[in-house]
Amino acid sequence: MAKRLLFVAITLLGFTLSAIAQDLYCRVSVVHPQIQTSDERIFKALEKQIQDFLNNRKWAIDNIQPQEKIEASITLNVSNWDGNSKFEATAQIQSSRPVFGASYNTPVLNINDKDWNFNYQEMQSLEYNESGNNNSNLALLLTYYANVIVGLDYDTFALEGGTSYFNKAQNVVNNAQNSIYAGWKAFESNKNRYWLAENLLNNTFKPVRDMSYTYHRRGLDLFYSNIDKGRTDLLTSLTTIERAYNERPTGYFFIVFFTAKSDEIANILQKADPTQRLKVLPILKTIDPANSNKYEQVAAAK
């Protein structure tokens, strides 16, 4: 995506990163507070294996330079390990992208996946086969989220820029339909990996993806040169997704988006004029009820 590369190249001009020139710069942390062991080798090996799998592979179609890498992090909290190869864990997956003309990175994804169960042995290599044959659940999980991260990032730079990556994430879901592990199937939950991929490609949620582009590219990125117009366009973009919410109020994508963005939105609202707040606040409280208290505090502060 040329727009993304040009933007990041300008934003980070002169900044270099000493790493292999792939697409992700993902920091990985494996913690196990509930597991008592004096041998950390398996956890350190797992941490390195995940980091290498994500950071040393080509995910994006474009030739992304080291200083243009998409920043992300995964914190894997292991709650159970059988002492051999079976792991039960939850994962906090986050990503962000730079804001033009600022030293600030804006959050794009912040999701807690409670179904990260897999088998892994020290020195085991991780590979993903697109045909779906013999993939470990860990490889499926990492490939899925790598494509979601890249796709969401690309959506912030171009309208529907992430579609090809969401299709790849959907392909991972398809390959996992015979998996014994949770999180991949429609009937298990309405807030899992299956439904996130479905939402991202469903036309009902196209206004949400379009809003993400306007919010970032015509909103935040404009703060540098015209903060009033940037703020107005950003806040106005949030009002465009009410119809989509009314069609699918339980859509997982709404939760995923606002989990990442609600703090930032509340901070921007605090600096908006009363007319803007009056227009946006009721809609926000409707489409993001989980964070309505944050928005109420903004209303009270006016």
- State yes or no: pLDDT of 210 exceeds 50: yes
Cα–Cα distances in angstroms (integers) from residue 258 to residues 221, 229, 246, 285, in the given order: 19, 22, 16, 11
Residue 88 pairs in a beta bridge with 80, 117
pLDDT tens by residue, 87-128: 999 999 999 999 999 889 999 999 999 999 999 998 888 999
**CA angle, 2 then 208 then 173, to 5°:** 80
pLDDT averaged over the chain? 91
3-state secondary structure of 256: helix
Q: Within the chain, what is the greatest distance between any pair of CA atoms? A: 60
Q: How far is CA 250 from the centre of its chain?
A: 19
Query: Which of 37-41, 174-178, 185-189 is predicted least confidently?
Result: 37-41
Joined together, the tokens standing for residue 176 give 């996992």
Looking at residue 99, the DSSP 8-state letter turns out to be P
The reported pLDDT for the residue numbered 4 is 58
pLDDT tens by residue, 251-275: 999 999 999 999 999 999 999 998 9
Residue 110 pairs in a beta bridge with 94
pLDDT tens by residue, 48-99: 999 999 999 999 998 888 888 999 999 999 999 999 999 999 999 999 999 9
In angstroms, the CA 221 to CA 214 distance is 10
Cα–Cα distances in angstroms (integers) from residue 103 to residues 15, 106, 214, in the given order: 12, 10, 20
Start-to-end Cα distance in the chain: 41
